[in-house]
């Protein structure tokens, strides 16, 4: 379930970035889109209203998805935590720094020496 929500959130994020970038510049923004660049699709005012509504809707969906993912992972297991993910990639500190020492019950076995027969 979390994976599906993350994929949907990624798509919403990309759409939100795209919609924000094509909005008309109002003093210092990137302003990639403009009413002339859109052709005769809509008037400048209609495009602004559409993009503003789309941005608001996508932002609301993004926030709802963030809350849903946070609630689902609130009581996540140790396997889902960020620390476990990092330890899986780089190895846990206990695995890297621990020298190999024999265990107390790993005593070398004594072999019986037999006297050579004459």
Q: 50-63 pLDDT, tens per residue?
A: 888 999 999 999 99
The total number of structural domains that make up the chain: 1
pLDDT category, 87, cuts 50, 70, 90? Answer: low
pTM listed for this prediction = 0.51
User: What average pLDDT does the chain have?
Assistant: 74
Say if 84 falls within a structural domain. no
Say if 102 falls within a structural domain. no
Q: Is the pLDDT of residue 115 over 90?
A: no
Domain that holds residue 20: 2-73
Say if 101 falls within a structural domain. no
Q: In the prediction, which pLDDT does 36 show? A: 52
Distance CA 98, CA 82 (A): 23
Q: In the prediction, which pLDDT does 2 show? A: 85
């Amino acid at each position: 379930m979390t994976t599906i929500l993350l994929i949907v959130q990624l798509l919403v994020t990309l759409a939100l970035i795209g919609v924000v970038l094509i909005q008309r510049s109002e003093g210092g923004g990137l302003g990639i889109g403009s009413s002339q660049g859109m052709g005769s699709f809509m008037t400048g005012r209609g495009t602004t209203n559409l993009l503003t509504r789309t941005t608001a809707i996508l932002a609301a969906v993004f926030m709802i998805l963030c809350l849903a993912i946070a609630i689902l992972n609130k009581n996540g297991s140790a396997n889902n935590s960020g620390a476990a993910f990092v330890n899986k990639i780089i190895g846990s500190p206990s695995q890297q720094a621990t020298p190999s020492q024999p265990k107390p019950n790993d005593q070398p076995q004594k072999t019986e020496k037999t006297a050579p027969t004459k």
